[in-house]
Structure 1
C-alpha cells in the first residue's frame, strides 16, 4: 500500500469498479499521487484528477518515473531555494545549513539536511537540537526525499514528528509563458523592487504576523520582484513574489495570493505570468515552487500550468 512519502510520485492503482458473476472487476489508473488521506487517495492522471476511496483499492504501488532527478540535482535545487528564501541567521554544520528567522516559516527556521554534516547522524541531530535550543526555538529539520532518507530514519528513531509533506515542483519558464494566458480583461500587474505596506498585509493574512526577520527573508535576495494587481479604486486584488537565485538562476515563485472577494477570476495565473516574464529578462529558464501536498486546489492549478513534482521534503519537529 502507499505511504505519505509516495505523494508527489508516479504510482499505479488497481481499484475495484464492480462485480460480475460474484467476482470483482478491476481497472488500473496511472498518475501522480497528489493526496493521501485516511479515507481516499487522489491521482493526477493524463485524463484529469481521480479520487479513489481506499476501500476500493485492491493494490497500489509506486512505479519508476520517466526520470528521477539525480541526488546532486536535488541538492542543487534545495541550495538555490535556500538562497531564494534566506534566513537572516545561518550557520554551518558540515554541509548542513542551520537557519533561523524568528520562527517565521518552517523553511527559514529549519536545518537543511543536504550533504555530509561531518559527524555521525546522531551527533548531527544533537548539534541541531543544541543550536535551536540556544535560540529558544523548537528544533526543525528539512529533510528532502529521497535524498535524506537516512536522516528521516534517524529522526523516526528519536521520536521526531512530521509536518505535512511538501512538494517541490518545477517547470520551464518559457513553457509557463506559453501556458499562462494573456489577460487584457484584468487590471495590469505592477512589478516592484520592494513590497508595499498592503502587499505585506495581504501576505500576513496567509502567513501570520510578519516580524522584522520575515521582511529580511522576503527582501534579502539581490534579484527579486514583488507583483501587485489593484482594482480601479487602488485596492489590492493579488500579489506574488519572484526571486532568482543559485548558479543555475532558478526562479522561485512564492506567496501567490488573491483577495477572497477576487478569487476565481484567474488573478493567480495573471500574476504568475508577469513574474515569469520578468524572470526571462533576468536569464532564468527554470522555475520552482513549494506547495503542501494537502493543498489539492493549488496542486491542480500548478499541474495545469505545467509544474511537475521534482522531489518532496518533510519538515521534521523535535519532540516537545
Structure 2
C-alpha cells in the first residue's frame, strides 16, 4: 500500500510525503510498513490517505516458504514434528526460532484447529506455545492470533543478499587478524555466544552443531583472546548461506571486524555452491540493520514471533 502522511505545515498548508510498502502491523495508534529501506512506523494521526496498490515487490509465497525452510534447516531444533506443512519445534526454550511453530503452508486443518493443535503440542512439551508467522504470507494467522489475545515479540527482518554483492562491498583487511574458519566450535566460542544468547543447554549445542555444512568463524588477538565470532551454514535446495551469531567483543568494535568475518564466511559459502545469503535481525537493532545494509542486504520479508497467553 501507499501511505500519504503529514510531515509538517508551511504557510498554513500541510506538507506530505509518501511511503510505499507492505502493511505488516496495525494498532490503535500506528501502522507499520515493511519498505525497501526497512520497517517504517507511522502514527495514525499523521496518515492523510492510504491506498492499496498492486504488489510489484512482494516476494512470491513459494520463495518465502523456501527461504523459511532453508532457515529451519540451518537452525535445527532438537525436537521437530509436522502439522500438515507447519513445523513444530522445541529446543529447551533456547531462542524463539527453535521453539516456535513455523506457520508456512497448509496445516492440513482449519486455521483455528491448527492453532489449538499447536497449543496442545507445546503443552505436552512443557513449553509456552509460540508461532513464527512470516509476513505477508501468514497475515491470516496473525489476524487469528490477534483475536485470541496472543502477544508479539519485536518484528524480525529476514534479509538476503547475493554473495557476490557481499564480497564486492567488503574489502580485504590484511591489517586485521585473520578469520579462522573451523568445523567445530571451541569452548571460548561457546562462552562468547552464551554472553549474548544466555546459557546453552544441550539442545542449543545440537542446534548449533546439527547442520552438516557449518562453519564457526573466530578472530583472535595476538594473545589468543577472542575478538569476534559468527556461525555460517549452507542449506536448502537453493544452497542458501545462513549467517548468525555475529558478535564482536566491546573492546574491538568499530574496527571493521564484523565485515571482515562476513567476507570470510561468504567466501567459504561460495566455495560450497551457495550464491545467496540470508540472516535474521530484529528491526529495533538499528546498528546491526545499518551494518547489513552497508554490505548489500535487503529485507526479503518479515516475521513476528507470537506468544500464547499464559
Assess same fold via TM > 0.5.
Answer: yes
For 2:189 and 2:176, the matched residues in 1 are separated by: 18
User: Partners in 1 of 2:106 and 2:26 — Cα distance?
Assistant: 32
Partner of 1:159: 149
1:150 aligns with 2:140: yes
TM superposition score normalised by structure 2: 0.90
Mapped contact 1:17–1:56 kept (Cα < 8 A): no
Give the whole-Å Cα distance in 2 for the aligned partners of 1:43 and 1:262: 33
Q: Is the 8 A contact 1:34 1:44 kept in 2?
A: no
Residue 231 of structure 2 aligns with which residue? 241
- Paired residue for 2:125? 135
When residues 265 and 56 of structure 1 are mapped into structure 2, their CA distance, relative to the original with a 3 A threshold, is: farther
Structure 1 pair 185–59 and aligned structure 2 pair: CA distance change class (3 A): farther
SS of structure 2 residue aligned to 1:144? strand
What is the aligned counterpart of 1:194 among 156, 161, 184? 184
Cα deviations across residues 263-307 of structure 1 (Å, max 9, x unaligned)? Answer: 111111110110001000010000000011111111111111111
Deviations 1:180-202 (A, max 9, x none): 11111111100000111111111
Deviations for 1:87-137, whole angstroms, at most 9, x for unmatched residues?
011011111111010000000000111111111111111111111111110
Question: What secondary structure, in the 3-state scheme, does the structure 2 residue paired with 1:209 have?
Answer: coil
Query: Structure 1 stretches of 5 or more lacking a match?
Result: 1-9
**Structure 2: distance between partners of 1:228 and 1:25:** 50
Say whether residues 1:232 and 2:222 are aligned partners: yes
Query: Are the structure 2 counterparts of residues 274 and 12 from structure 1 closer, same or farther at C-alpha, using a change threshold of 3 Å?
Result: farther
Compared with structure 1, are the counterparts of its residues 274 and 148 closer, same or farther at alpha carbon in structure 2 (3 Å cutoff)?
A: same
Of 103, 112, 115, which residue of structure 2 is paired with 1:122? 112
**Structure 1 partner of 2:71:** 81
Q: Which stretches in structure 2 are left out of the alignment for 5+ residues? A: none
Q: How far is the alpha carbon of 1:67 from its aligned partner?
A: 2.3
Q: Tell me the matched-pair count.
A: 308
Is 1:273 the counterpart of 2:300? The answer is no
CA root-mean-square deviation: 2.9
SS in 1 for 2:211: coil
Range that drifts further, 34-43 or 230-239: 34-43
